[in-house]
Amino acid sequence: MTNLRLLTIGGLISYRALFGWLNPFSYVITILIPSLTQLAFFVYLGRTAHVADDAYYVAGNALVAAASPSLFGMAQTVAGERYTHTLSLLVVSPASRIAIFVGRSLPATLNGIVVSIWTLAIAAVMFGVHVPGHALAPLALTIIVTAFACVGIGLFNASLGLRWRETAVIGNLILYVLLIFAGVNVPLDRLPGWMSTLAQGLPVTHGANAARQLIAGASLSHVLPLIAAEALVGAVYVAIGLSTISLFELEARRGATLEVA
Amino acid sequence: MSIARVMLFGLGLHFKMLSHSPFDMFVVVASPLIFATLAYFLFQNGQGQSLLVAALASGVMGIWSTTTAQGAGALQTQRRLGILELLVASPTPFWAVVLPISVAISAIGVYSLAIGLVYVRVFYGVAITVHDWVAFAVSIPAAIAAIGSLGFLFASVLVRYRSAFMLGNLFEWPVWMISGLLIPVAVLPGWLQPISWLFAPTWGMRALRHATLGTGSAWTDVVVCAALSGVYLVAGSLSLRFFLRSARARATLALT
């Protein structure tokens, strides 16, 4: 019961603290508008390069829009504790780490879903990308699974916050890697073999591919293997993230480096 | 004379401080690497010169990125450090304190330009051929000064907002998009072009491109950069004076 309370109420309070929810203005200018301007940048860059059509960039960037709040939101669950000098209290508490961090990842997942849907919907209207009616439900599933995968790598980023202070740097680095490697803006067949191979193990790669095929008219059964692959990638990152949280916490306790990391 | 000394000292001091900040250095180092790489894969049929221009563009993107990331919140940083009231109370005009900070923030973007050029030279074998080296050398500080002055204007206008940092970030992608950096203005809707003229990166990039390719007069763009710097400085100083007076009258300088 305690773990359930930690997972739900703890996660919600932590997430509200992230933006200072007294005023939704921060959310709009931090999340909603940049996701659209970033997408518009790549759509016009794509038109310049004549590499793919608008739908390619709209789908890819709408899906990767879930990564930004996941990476930085999850990192902030550790960095924020350090900033308010409560990280050591968190570490000495007997609370289950899985309940704490999975709880904090739930609002981030929900946020990623909201941002992806918002970005896809507005961008589809802005750039005249037609989304077939029968693709809406499978697209929603794809977005949910991709947001989960992004939170998985966000959890890993959060764990790095126990070891390194500059979580924003690491988050940006991961985000940039996704923008280049994950087939979001550069088709995988234009990348060198090692990059496209690496992309198979990154969040968003399979989700973006599935979303593009759905927008092009494919059925759910056709893209199900891609969605399953995205879910698998997410599950692996969640496992890695929870493991590295335990590892870095142990390391910080041993070296008494929690506050100096 | 003492104001000039304060400004020069402030510029040097903040440049050195920012050069030791992991976050700021990441921004200026990563931007050219990421966007030059993207340009390489997207424009694989392009010639060496287009990659050279892409490297310059990604350098200007780095300058703009650090300006939006840090410039808008420059005063917020002083507030967080607890020295904003001391700086305001000092006999030196406040604009002379803030301007070097803003220009230093943009000036570390010079690393972006250098890294972008070295990157395309070493990894993609692009020859660094510049049509007019003198104009090129003058274009760099002109672009940095203009973008830094715009950062000063942002910092002045947004001084009362706790979320100045986030508001500044709002401008990152849109200005990258409309300034003719990696995306030709011709590809964009026509109504965006006049808006792009208001932003210093547009003219800084034009100056660098014209100096590099010899396709136009870089000096004209340098003059526009200088004129825009003047406009930003005057507007920023007026804004700073207004908001400072307001903050002092209401005793909210440390609270805003």
Residue A17 has pLDDT above 70, yes or no: no
Q: DSSP letters of B157-213?
A: HTTT-TTHHHHHHTTHHHHHHHTTSSS-GGGS-TTHHHHHTTSHHHHHHHHHHHHHH
**Contact: B38, A47; criterion CB under 8 Å:** no
User: Closest residue of A to B189, CA-based?
Assistant: A44
The tokens of A247 are what?
A: 């590892």
DSSP secondary-structure letter at B255?
Answer: T
B23/A166 CB distance under 8 A: yes
Sign of CA dihedral B112, B113, B118, B120: positive
CB contact under 8 A, A166 and B26: yes
Interface-testing mutation among A22, A41, A190, with chain B (most B C-beta atoms within 10 A): A41
Of A34, A168, A186, the CB nearest to B41: A186
- Tell me what pLDDT residue A205 has: 95
Q: Which of A110, A143, A118 is nearest to A215 (CA)?
A: A143
**Mean pLDDT, chain A, whole residue set:** 88
Mean pLDDT by 10-residue block, N- to C-terminus, for chain B (256 residues)? 86 89 81 87 72 87 84 76 86 88 88 90 87 93 90 80 72 87 86 89 91 90 93 91 84 69
Q: CB atoms < 10 A from the CB of B42, how many?
A: 23
Q: Which residues of B are less than 8 Å from A40 in CB distance?
A: 173-174, 177
Which chain A residues are within 8 Å of B27, Cβ to Cβ? 172
Which pLDDT band, with edges at 50, 70 and 90, does A219 fall under?
Answer: very high
What single-letter DSSP state applies at residue A23? -
**What pLDDT, on the 0 to 100 scale, is given for residue A261?**
58
> In a 3-state reduction of DSSP, which class is residue A114?
helix
Interface predicted TM-score (ipTM) of this complex, two decimals: 0.86
The residues near A175 (Cβ < 8 Å, ≥ 6 apart) are: A64, A67, A68, A71
pLDDT-derived band at A86 (thresholds 50, 70, 90) equals: confident
Report the SS3 class of residue B125. Answer: coil
Separation between Cα atoms, residue A257 and residue B49, nearest integer Å: 49
Burial annotation A104-140 (CB, 10 A radius, 16+ → b, else e): bbebbbbbbbbbbbbbbebbbeebebebeeebeebbe
Whats the size of chain A, residue-wise? 261
The Cα–Cα gap between A150 and A148 comes to 5
Across the interface, of B27, B44, B166, the residue whose CB is closest to A29 is B166
Q: What is the pLDDT of residues A161-199, one digit of tens each?
A: 888 877 778 888 899 899 999 999 999 988 999 999 999
Contact A139, A66 (CB under 8 A): no
Residue at B106: amino acid letter: S
For A160-225, give the DSSP string.
HTTT-S-HHHHHHHHHHHHHHHTSSSS-GGGS-HHHHHHHTTSTTHHHHHHHHHHHTT--HHHHHH
Task: Look at residue A253 in the predicted model and tell me its pLDDT.
Answer: 84
| Residues of chain A contacting B177 with CB distance shorter than 8 Å | 37, 40-41, 44
pLDDT at A19 over 70: no
Neighbour tally for A92: CB within 10 Å: 10
By the 8 A CB rule, do B155 and B72 touch?
Answer: yes
pLDDT score of B48: 61
pLDDT value of position A22? 56
More confident: A136 or A69: A136
Beta-strand ranges (E) seen in B2-154 are: none
Residue A100 or A144, more confident: A144
Q: What percent of chain A has pLDDT over 70?
A: 96
